[in-house]
Structure 1
Amino acid sequence: MISKQETFNLSPYMALYDLIIPKDNMLRQINEVVDFLFILDELKSKYCLDNGRNAIPPIRMFKYLLLKAIHDLSDADLVERSKYDMSFKYFLDMAPEDDVIDSSSLTKFRRLRLQDMNLLDLLIGKTVEIALERGIITSKTIIVDATHTKARYNQKSPKEFLQEKSKNVRKAVYQFDENMKGKFPAKSTSNEVAEELDYCRQVVKIVETQTKISQIPVVKEKLNVLKEVIDDYDLQLSYSTDPDARVGHKSADSSFFGFKTHVAMSDERIITAAIVTTGEKSDGNYLQELIEKSKDTSMVINTVIGDTAYSGKDNLQYANSENLQLISKLNPSITNGNGQRKTEFDFNKDAGMFVCPAGHMAIRKARTGKKNDKKSQRLKFYFDIEKCKVCPLREGCYKEGGKMKTYSISIKSTDHKEQEAFQETEIFKELSKKRYKIEAKNNEIKNPHGFHTAKSAGLFGMEIQGATTIFAVNLKRILKLLNEKD
């Protein structure tokens, strides 16, 4: 149950915050800039208003998740720091003497309260609304790109992943006490996940009995990660790897297993839209949705900047119909044919190759046709026939007994002549220089905020992580621009 009315904290110690939290503290500034009542409005339908025990205020629970995104902490470490960090308690609207939550409450909040809620669009929309109201966003330009996030569980079996995390704990312990080597139980020799889970629980129990060692920060950090992984497996024993993660390609020679976040950002470096997908999805297919989502936040747009992945025929036609300047260089491998069959084979601009519906990348390409006859020239992409023979999607794609599988496109089309001429103009060349901004933003999201790796399994968990991370990054950018204005 949650209260229908706001409550006021009457603690006699509240004045301490004015003494120890400086005016320029980021969390204090966020509290001053953002009215978090919009979170209560969105979540109150998930709570009972007149029956049951009093729930932890939804706004406070959300703020815990925001702190987790800002400082890249595990649930347990976040709650631990909230016990003594007065800036955290101030941000959470707690009295200095108040008790913190149990870390398990955060898992329940994510799973029970945030389901069926479009948190990503809600939080981005709120930050853009603040930026527009404060006069921070004045441009009519957005820059688009996609960034990848590796799955938390990679492509390892459950047993391998659990073994890795328990090993990290043991290594951290041995740094301080090598005599602990004889105190851990024998490692599991079977392939049963249940036995490996039991071994991990025993490791946790033994380390926690060694109070001096378990409280050492480096040991405690590894231990908390192992405990979170055990909790994840207790809830979802069915997955052998992340159930939603897919293989995507960063180049012809490198790939990743995880997710993609397709991002649109204003010229002022405020993210205006984002879409979280599995890792194999093509960047260019989400341009139109990113533009529409940005417009839904009240952004006015006349220019869109992106790399060659966004120069497909469908996107060029859409930009023309919406009177938008599309600053995206044509690529001879993507500008023809792919727009008509985008649900089948997708072009990966980093690798310069097409990817089939099953996620397999072409292994080579060749030019066919007469050199002097541009109309007849085509690019032919060749796929690994051994993979095609056993592919679950081979019906209608691979002909049984075939010696090769190829996909061909015409190299040039008259539909792109206008864009070809446009990209030679000075305005195109000048605007295209701004694309570096979104690459820097993607780097900011990944490194200080931990977006390089998923913190939980599944697309839903990735969307929650994306929503809170982008909200935090946008708020930090808004505060910086407001301080510069002052």
Structure 2
Amino acid sequence: MRQAGAAVRIDGARKAPRRPEPARAAVASAPACGRDGLDGRNGRDTRDARDAIGARCSARRNESKALGNERLQIADKPSPSGGFLFFNGVMLKTPMPTQHELEMVTLEELVPKDHLLRQIDAAVDFEFIRAKVAHLYCADNGRPALDPVVMFKLLFIGYLFGVRSERQLMREVQVNVAYRWFARFRLTDKVPDASTFSQNRRRRFTDTTVYQEIFDEIVRQAIKRGLVDGRVLYTDSTHLKANANKGKFDVVKLEQTPAAYTEALNAAVDADRAAHGRKPLDRDDDEPPSSKDTKLSRTDPDSGYMVRDDKPKGFFYLDHRTVDAKHAIITDTHVTPASVHDSQPYLDRLDRQRERFEFKVEAVGLDAGYFTPAVCQGLEERGIAGVMGYRTPNHKPGMFYKRQFKYDAYRNEYVCPQGQALPYSTTNRLGYREYKSNAQICGRCPVRSQCTNSAIAVKVVTRHVWERAKERVDARRLTEWGQRIYARRKQTVERSFADAKQLHGHRYARMRGLRKVAEQCLLAAAAQNIKKIAMLLARKRKKGPAGPDWRFVRMLLRLVSGLRCGFDYPLAANPQS
């Protein structure tokens, strides 16, 4: 006798194991079209049940197919309205073949009223460009050239909307009515060829200051609109990846360019040595400048190999950017290879802004990369309060920190943690005073291993001739005023770089060579300023003249409370420590 659950064969096919009696009730309640319904007592009953189930399933499929055909027939019927149809009781709008229809339309109607380019066109005057480049065009010879105003407008479109390729930019202008409206092209006008930009760049604008002059004029327009006051400036740098392979380079010896403050430093060193009874250092003008082994890219030799903590390694450029605190308008941009330290070009670029735009700079906010004796001293000589970040110096575990050696200004010496004096020894060429300990005393010191590893048991502590300026800047950072000034860095210059990278294609150098990358940075900064000016003025127009002058009210409240601060940003007299 066959045991329940054993497998049986029906028509040559292996059947599933027979289920126990209690499971038959569950099988009987299963769906009619399921295979689980096949459980006849013999093969004939099973075939009959299977045929019945198949007939029912086939009927359902035919019914569904007929319903679908009916729906398709309804959908295929032409709609009485011409642009709508009813599908399963729902009215749908269908596209009609209108590509060849003739319509009476203007570009003015097609561009939205709140489009960014409309706001820019209403806020910024570009006609000055024509006068800036007039001397580079021939008035009575050659074919008519593309209007320089139109050409720079097209370039600004590319930077505003993050179109990295000029060839792609022309394809976008071909189909974008807002771009055509801004450039004053009709719908049927042929757009310029992409080579127009490269040819003008190579043959007309090379070795000129056109890009810098255009950028400066846009800043002046912002100043005239009251969007820039030049009282507080923020400066920082960001890296742009050069169009070069980081693995293809040559190691060459490059001459080190003397720093801009070298003459001032030499004078300070000689004066300090004379004050301590030392002779001036001999400096041979005919001595060749120092050189250093440097990685030079074979693809883009102007770029610099960047090696910084928490930064990618490779060939990059640095964009040194300064923004005004009032509305984060960019007031300066300067490009260097990534191997140049942030502090080197800073003072020269600051002086340029003060001279070019007549800024009365009262304070600057900088990160820790600018916290050098030369920058701190230069700011004090210019009467500018500097607020800079602090970077913890490298420290060897188990050794004393430099701050544990106290400086005695009256005796001009350092005192070690054990109370021993380190008197002045000399002032070197780099501007550092050297304070040396007594070898006989240090040799018997119980904590010598925590102080120095010198074989002659001499501890040397250095102090720059401009160290006092650094100490005053660092003390200012710790004040409430300094903390408010420094906190606005992320709202101004860091935000400016974030927008540039995220929205305006500022992560990569589009071209090769320092001059061309400088052109890219100037146009990108000008485009950001144009956008900022347009949006600020549009916001003012939207608010209207009605309502109280809250700027004036808040300023009065702060004056009453005794805070010597401005409205848009914290500003007070230069606090001295």
TM bin, normalised by shorter chain, reads 0.5 to 0.7
* SS class of match (1:260): strand
TM-score normalised by L of structure 1: 0.63
Number of aligned positions between the proteins: 338
Matched, 1:302 2:362: yes
Matched, 1:143 2:234: yes
CA contact (8 A) 1:302 1:324 kept: yes
**Structure-2 separation of matches of 1:415 and 1:481:** 38
> Structure 1, residues 93-123: CA drift from partner, whole Å, max 9, x if none?
2222110111112211221222122245323
1:292 aligns with 2:351: yes
- Confirm or deny that 1:484 pairs with 2:543: no
SS of the residue corresponding to residue 452 of structure 1 reads: coil
State the one-letter code of the partner of 2:190. Answer: D
Cα offsets for 1:209-239 (capped at 9, x unmatched): xxxxxxxxxxxxxxxxxxxxxxxxxxxxxx8
Map residues 53-202 of structure 1 onto 2, 5 A cutoff: 53-73=143-163, 74-138=165-229, 140-155=231-246, 157=248
TM, length-normalised to structure 2: 0.54
CA distance 1:326–1:21, shift in 2 (3 Å): same
Alpha-carbon separation, structure 1, partners of 2:403 and 2:182: 68
The alignment partner of 1:456 has SS state of coil
SS of corresponding position for 1:285 = coil
- Per-residue deviation, 1:250: 3.7
Q: CA RMSD in A?
A: 3.2
Letter in 2 for 1:410: T
2:344 & 2:534 partners in 1: Cα distance?
A: 33
CA distance in 1, matches of 2:311, 2:351: 34
- Distance in 2 (CA, whole Å) between partners of 1:481 and 1:415 is 38
Confirm or deny: 8 A CA contact 1:144 1:305 kept in the other structure.
Answer: yes
Counterpart contact for 2:244–2:315, Cα < 8 Å? no
Structure 1 residues 101 and 332: CA distance shift in structure 2, 3 A: same
What code does the residue aligned with 2:317 have? F
Aligned equivalents of 2:400 and 2:534: distance in 1? Answer: 52
Q: State the match for 1:270 in structure 2.
A: 329
Distance 1:52 1:370 in 2: 71
CA distance in 1, matches of 2:471, 2:170: 58
Cα deviation, residue 447, structure 1: 1.7
CA apart distance, 1:462: 0.4
Distance 1:331 1:120, change over 3 A: farther
Residues 145-169 of structure 1 show CA distances to partners (whole Å, capped at 9, x for unaligned) of: 00110002232559xxxxxxxxxxx
Secondary structure of the equivalent of 1:137?
A: coil
What displacement does 1:23 show? 2.8
* Residue 536 of structure 2 is aligned to residue 445 of structure 1: no
CA distance in 2, matches of 1:370, 1:476: 47
- Check whether the contact 1:136–1:482 (CA below 8 A) recurs between aligned residues: no
Q: Secondary structure at the match of 2:192?
A: coil
What is the alpha-carbon distance in structure 1 between the residues aligned to residue 371 and residue 242 of structure 2? 29
Letter in 2 for 1:441: S
Structure with more contact order per residue of length (Cα contacts < 8 Å, sep ≥ 6)? 1
Of the three residues 406, 417, 441, the one matched with 2:471 is: 417
Cα deviation for residue 298 of structure 1 reads: 3.6
Kindly indicate whether the alpha-carbon contact (under 8 Å) linking 2:119 and 2:534 is maintained by their aligned counterparts in 1.
yes
CA distance, structure 1, for counterparts of residue 402 and residue 221 of structure 2: 56
Contact (CA 8 Å) 1:260, 1:276: kept in 2 or not?
A: yes
Contact 2:108 2:181 in 1 (8 A): no
TM-superposed CA distance for 1:32, in Å, is 2.4
SS in 2 for 1:283: coil
**Partner residue, 2:109:** 19
**Identity percentage over the alignment?**
24
1:197 alignment counterpart: none
Deviation at 1:465, TM superposition (A): 0.8
The runs of 5 or more residues in structure 1 that have no matched partner are: 1-12, 159-238, 334-351, 354-363, 378-407
Structure number with bigger Rg: 2
Cα distance change of structure 1 residues 306 and 319 upon mapping to structure 2, 3 Å threshold? same
- Distance apart, 1:302 and its partner CA: 0.9
Matched, 1:257 2:315: yes
Tell me whether 1:436 sits opposite 2:495 in the alignment: no
